[in-house]
Structure 1
Amino acid sequence: MRRLGLVLLTALLVGTTGCAQRGSTTPPGVLNVGQISNSIAFFPLFVAEQKGYFTEEGVKMGERPRLGTGAKVAAALKSGSIDLGAGVLTDALNLARIDDKGRLVANLVDRYYVDVVVGSSFAGATASDPLDQRVRALRGKKIGITGPGSGTEALVTYLFAKVGMNSRTDCELVNLGSTAASALGALKAGRVDALAFFQPIAQQAAAAGIGTRYISPAAGDVPGLERTAHGVVFTTQRIIDKKPQEVAAFQRALERAQRHIHAADPTEITAMLTAYLKGIDPKALTELPALMRTEIPETIGFTRTSFDTAIAFHRTTGLVKHLPAYDQIVPPALRIGGAG
């Protein structure tokens, strides 16, 4: 499955190479920004839109497609149908593997915000048992992920490798797409035993009474992944060169949004989350404002420590070959010192 995911991503990107060289297709002052889905990582974009920050900073948002997978976001970026892509670092690294002009634009989440959730009838180690016991309890189980080559698959691959298991042979990975409702439905119906999915999947499963959070890197369950670049906005140097003012305005607006998430009253953030995550059970929102303040940084830059942790993670999973250096993919203005 891992090989298939890389083949599909390569086909999508290489197949669009012919039209990639034309760069942006949007008029001056406009950016088309695609994203995988409405997960927690991309909430700052929603905040910036709702608060009018993009307009105030001098850039207009054009098309805002939800493309379902990181591979599709990267392919749309490569083809010129979008200018910026919001995904996970895995997507940006895969793009850099194909195109050495791939660049990071903003750090959205600097914790690994994929959780493993198990169904209510799951038999095995409990959520309070040591991590290695929990991972081994997933042997032979059906685990729902968004798709091959994704950050959700990457977490399963990483956890299994840490205890000497192989996710290709020691479990069955089930591709469910990026829609949380579909994933929760599969868990409830017993089509999968567990989910490796983007937040707030654990909160939604608990609110529905169908599952519990089992392993959460963002909560400190996985040593070494306490702080790592994960949710990102990325593009190519061609777009940065063609639309420098628009990209800079986008970055200023996004940083304002991320600071607002930290400073605003939790009731305002909850109301905005209700609009963003349409149809979500209100009970699933209770802990999200505080959770996001631990995961979403107040600045959009990347520390070398956080980046290097992410690179080590991807080297372990083997999902991305030819990993780029910090100085290659992180523009100078986004390089910040310290551990973050």
Structure 2
Amino acid sequence: MAMHIERRALLKSFAAAPVLLSPLAAGCAKHGASSTKAGTLNIGQISNSVAFFPLFVAEEKGYFKDEGIKLGDRPRLGTGAKVAAALKSGSIDLGAGVLTDAFNLAESESGTTRVVSSLVTEYYVDIVVGKDFGGPAAKASLEARTKALVGRKIGITGPGSGTEALVDHLFEGIGKKAKTDATLVNLGSAATSAIGALKSGRVDALSFFQPIGQQAEADGSGRILISPARGDVTDMTGALHGVVFSTQKLLQKKAKEVKGFQSAIKRAQQDVQGDPQKVRELLEKYLKDTDPKALDALVPILRREMPQTPAVEREPYETARRFHLESGLVEKAPEFGDIKA
């Protein structure tokens, strides 16, 4: 008899379980979160450039937390080469950089590199010149503007970076070599160092990620001479540039976390396409001490450059792959199907 009562009580508790669980399930559905708890995810990024703004938004608004993801180390590593090295060592799980970095990693880690997320589908590095640079106006031909850089000191973040890649590509277009026909100065990724070098005359120009150009124009220290993102370099228009990448081994190890990461980034990207005032408020938190005029200029630019989903699409990838190969920035670049996660 006691056994029969216990059995009925157990069945009753099972029947009640869906009622107890439903509020949690509803909460997860409401926030777009995974019902399965993920774990720690270590993400390394080059810098606090605009390309990685969605990561900040996702963290600031609790989207990673919604997905059950605990963020571990999130170092700013300075160059894409250092991000790739951290991936190879396993000290980070995902690297936020540019597609050039993923291609360079793929050359040394053939068949294992994977591009996980699309962050920016325009080449968001600008050529910024100091106020005393002189030279042609922004409406002059690309050839004329590039020739004005020959023999100049040009600041870049570092060797093998997307900033160096743009200078190489522009010089190739006029039959020159950036390494011999200009002086490339490694400045690291800090915005203050870049702007300081331009103001002091240590460099004549910068090849630097946004928002350096917008800051220079806002404070009067320089102007944007060449901008692929505004269409100045036609063969780079619509190219996949800002990405999150990793290795197949790490993706398999952190499959749940990566799935949650993608969901969080998608929500953040949709926020960027939302209320401009809210975007500006978040951008002000992300890019601390940035001139208000620069922030005003950036908001519409970001809405044009950033996709609404982190899914890696073939056309932007192929555009980027083509210009990397044709300009000699890389010797090999994986086919779309071989690198897409």
Q: Distance in 2 between matches of 1:57 and 1:289?
A: 27
TM-score, length of structure 2 as denominator length: 0.87
Q: Distance in 2 between matches of 1:290 and 1:28?
A: 34
What corresponds to 1:146 in structure 2? 157
State yes or no: 1:187 paired with 2:177. Answer: no
What corresponds to 2:304 in structure 1? 294
Task: Select which of 93, 96, 104 maps to 1:94.
Answer: 104
What corresponds to 2:28 in structure 1? none
Which blocks of at least 5 consecutive residues in structure 1 are unaligned?
1-26, 332-340
What corresponds to 1:319 in structure 2? 329
What corresponds to 1:253 in structure 2? 264
Alpha-carbon shift at residue 138 of structure 1 (Å) = 0.9
Letter in 1 for 2:282: M
State yes or no: 1:272 paired with 2:282. Answer: yes
Partner secondary structure for residue 100 of structure 2: helix
Q: Distance in 2 between matches of 1:171 and 1:249?
A: 45
Letter in 2 for 1:76: A
Task: Select which of 181, 185, 197 maps to 1:170.
Answer: 181
What corresponds to 1:237 in structure 2? 248
Q: Deviations over 1:65-93 (max 9, x none)?
A: 11111111111111111110000001111
Give the conservation status (yes or no) of the 8 Å contact 2:44–2:94: yes
Q: Distance in 2 between matches of 1:198 and 1:317?
A: 20
Task: Select which of 45, 54, 58 maps to 2:68.
Answer: 58
Alpha-carbon shift at residue 321 of structure 1 (Å) = 2.6
Alpha-carbon shift at residue 191 of structure 1 (Å) = 0.9
Q: Distance in 2 between matches of 1:63 and 1:139?
A: 41
Q: Distance in 1 between matches of 2:179 and 2:83?
A: 25
Partner secondary structure for residue 180 of structure 2: coil
Give the conservation status (yes or no) of the 8 Å contact 1:94–1:320: yes
Partner secondary structure for residue 81 of structure 1: coil
Q: Distance in 1 between matches of 2:91 and 2:251?
A: 15
Moved segments of 4+, more than 2 Å? 316-322
Alpha-carbon shift at residue 110 of structure 1 (Å) = 0.5
Q: Deviations over 1:261-320 (max 9, x none)?
A: 101x22211111111112212221111111101001001122222111111221134332
What corresponds to 1:83 in structure 2? 93
Give the conservation status (yes or no) of the 8 Å contact 2:128–2:225: yes
Partner secondary structure for residue 273 of structure 1: helix
Partner secondary structure for residue 309 of structure 2: coil
Alpha-carbon shift at residue 28 of structure 1 (Å) = 6.0
Q: Distance in 1 between matches of 2:157 and 2:306?
A: 22
Q: Distance in 2 between matches of 1:91 and 1:122?
A: 31
Deviates more, 1:186-195 or 1:277-286: 277-286
Q: Distance in 2 between matches of 1:241 and 1:176?
A: 36
Letter in 2 for 1:126: A
State yes or no: 1:29 paired with 2:28. Answer: no
Q: Distance in 2 between matches of 1:319 and 1:216?
A: 18
What corresponds to 2:216 in structure 1? 205
What's the Cα RMSD here?
Answer: 1.3
State yes or no: 1:227 paired with 2:268. Answer: no
What corresponds to 1:103 in structure 2? 114
Q: Deviations over 1:196-245 (max 9, x none)?
A: 00001111001121100110000011112110010000011111211211
Which blocks of at least 5 consecutive residues in structure 2 are unaligned?
1-36
Give the conservation status (yes or no) of the 8 Å contact 1:158–1:316: no
Q: Percent sequence identity over matched residues?
A: 58
Q: How many residues align?
A: 304
What corresponds to 1:19 in structure 2? none
Q: Distance in 2 between matches of 1:290 and 1:151?
A: 23
Partner secondary structure for residue 168 of structure 1: helix
Q: Distance in 1 between matches of 2:101 and 2:253?
A: 22
Give the conservation status (yes or no) of the 8 Å contact 1:149–1:319: no
Q: Distance in 2 between matches of 1:91 and 1:166?
A: 21
Q: Deviations over 1:143-174 (max 9, x none)?
A: 11111110001001101111212112211111
Q: Deviations over 1:14-72 (max 9, x none)?
A: xxxxxxxxxxxxx9611000100000000000000011111112222111111111111
State yes or no: 1:118 paired with 2:154. Answer: no
TM-score, length of structure 1 as denominator length: 0.87
Task: Select which of 331, 335, 338 maps to 1:328.
Answer: 338
Alpha-carbon shift at residue 127 of structure 1 (Å) = 1.3
